[in-house]
Chains A and B, each alone.
Chain A
Amino acid sequence: MRIPCPYCGPRDTAEFSYRGDATLSRPDASGDRAIDDVAMFAYVYLRDNPVGRHQEFWYHGSGCRSWLVVTRDTTSHDISDVRLATAERP
């Protein structure tokens, strides 16, 4: 599996570290402890773990040291989209 890094071109996955699901966003505190506990629990622990398309964070530690959002198929390892984590997402 190679990941086409926006800066470095297609590079071996051994150069990257994996951070997991990129669709999660850290919940803002609402002030209500009960609501916040449930939201934080879901953010930290629960995952959709989809079959097929998966948006995920990879870090190019042995290259440009960019955080990337990679869209990859979890059954075929095909990568359909790679962008910097700071860029707009589809």
Chain B
Amino acid sequence: MRYSLFSLLGKTLSGHRSWPPLWRDAAPKPRYDVIIVGGGGHGLATAYYLASRYGVRDVAVLEKGWIGGGNVGRNTTIIRSNYLLPGNIPLYELSMQLWEGLEQDFNFNAMISQRGVLNLYHSDAQRDAYARRGNAMRIHGVDAELLDCDGVRKLYPFLNFDAARFPIKGGLLQPRGGTARHDAVAWGFARGASDHGADVVQNCEVTGISISDGRITGVETNRGAIAAKKVGIAVAGSSSRVAAMAGMRLPIESHVLQAFVSEGLKPVIPGVITFGAGHFYISQSDKGGLVFGGDIDGYNSYAQRGNLPTVEDVCEGGMALMPSIGRARMLRSWGGLVDMTMDGSPIIDRAPTDGLYLNAGWCYGGFKATPGSGLAFAHLIARDEPHAAATRLRLDRFARGDLIDEKGQGAQPNLH
């Protein structure tokens, strides 16, 4: 059903007892045109755009657990497109533009809030680096504003401007950046995909990928074999495991990234702030909790939980940036598995097997890319050619030396 003021009024009169489930809890059919492995944000977005924009409706999304249980519900909800390199900016900006019209497009309230993302700088060298990044963004049509110290003070007077070690000299602001309610993004895409005819299948773990004469024929699952003409893998965190079923080794390590939320507070932080002298980013949810995070733990991990040194490091970053949060109690923390690639940038490409497609390597930039990644992956699967915004996110770029290394760290995944 379509949500509107009238549907709300109608259901109000009937006591809100007849709201249908958001999406059909489908059982898998024996065959599909396209199977998407992984019912996370990217997989659901891919199915949604395949069905709504490319007319491919015979699609199944196979999810091992439940919708919203993976990274799409474990991130810090930030959306932005403040990247530096030409290989990355178009995809993230495509995503940003899709975020801006997403709620009307899929008829669901994802609480998208363009409250501005501010990256602070603390030295002259860092200011120059951010000026360069801002210029790169503006060349690509992305909004960017370089603020001096007074400019930041007007926005966030409570920051620790005169700290002896890391005084705040200014910041790079992307006013269109902000936050989105991550669960609603998953639910909205699942509902949209389901309404357009795609099957969203939960509790269905892919255990094998069937290949015959170099061509994909389907997948094996814990609920039986399912045939398919094309299979897309969108299982960031576990990409190496699933790709291994098709005989691939990937330029990826799996790492754990933690996120944190404080007890609910009255409104205190209007936008998203990132600390430039450590790795710390924070925003406040509409419910009042401060949502924050920092670096990955830094070692290969398939455990959706991290260790205490990283918790301490993140909290120290927060205290250096805005000592006032020291009075707030941390309520919860959790971890999500991320695909760390060898250059810190994602992969949306065909796999060497005909009919197999790979969407992986999102490092910790996956959530903001959800709609753009879904659209680009849907385009690749439907048309068999890369989307214009994702032409350089190729699997073979490592062998060709055409890396997209935003931080210039080289092939050391835990540093990206």
Contact = CB atoms under 8 A, between A and B. Distances in A.
Interface of A: 1, 12-14, 18-21, 37, 41-42, 44-49, 51, 54, 56, 72, 74-77
Nearest to B397: A45
Contacts of A54: 300
B311 to A, nearest CB: 11
21 contacts: A12-B309, A13-B307, A20-B412, A37-B399, A41-B398, A42-B249, A44-B342, A45-B398, A46-B249, A46-B250, A49-B240, A49-B252, A49-B254, A51-B302, A56-B300, A74-B254, A74-B300, A75-B301, A75-B302, A77-B303, A77-B307
Given A20-B412, A54-B300, A47 B252 contact: yes
Given A41-B399, A49-B252, A51-B241, A74 B302 contact: yes
B309 A49 contact: no
Nearest to A43: B411
B66 interface: no
B254 A13 contact: no
Nearest to A40: B399
Contacts of A48: 240, 249
Contacts of B298: 18
A20 B250 contact: no
Contacts of A20: 253, 300, 412-414
A46 B250 CA distance: 5
Nearest to A47: B253
Nearest to A70: B299
Interface-central residue, A14, A21, A42, A47, by most chain B CB under 10 Å: A47
The 5 A-B pairs of least Cβ separation, nearest first, read A49-B240, A14-B309, A45-B251, A45-B398, A46-B249
Contacts of A12: 309
Contacts of B412: 19-20
Nearest to B240: A49
Contact of A44 (B301, B302, B307, B411): B411
B301 A77 contact: yes
A70 to B, nearest CB: 9
Nearest to A75: B302
B306 to A, nearest CB: 9
Contacts of B249: 42, 46-48
Given A45-B411, A49-B250, 12 more contacts: A12-B309, A18-B299, A20-B253, A21-B253, A21-B300, A37-B399, A41-B399, A47-B252, A47-B253, A49-B254, A56-B299, A77-B303
Contacts, number: 66
A47 B399 contact: no
B395 to A, nearest CB: 11
A54 B253 CA distance: 12
Main secondary structure of the interface of B (DSSP, over half): mixed
A75 B303 contact: yes
A68 B43 CA distance: 39
A40 B21 CA distance: 52
A20 B414 CA distance: 9
Contacts of A56: 299-300
Contacts of B250: 46-47, 49
A20 B413 CA distance: 9
Interface in B340-366: 342
A74 B411 contact: no
Interface-central residue, A18, A44, A48, by most chain B CB under 10 Å: A18
Interface-central residue, B241, B399, B412, by most chain A CB under 10 Å: B399
Interface string B213-250: 00000000000000000000000000011000000011
Interface string B361-401: 00000000000000000000000000000000000001100
A53 B398 CA distance: 26
Contacts of A18: 298-299, 414
B239 to A, nearest CB: 8
A54 B302 CA distance: 11
Nearest to A2: B307
A40 to B, nearest CB: 10
B240 A76 contact: no
Interface string B250-264: 111110000000000
Contacts of A21: 253, 300
A41 B301 CA distance: 23
Contacts of A51: 241, 302
Nearest to A15: B309
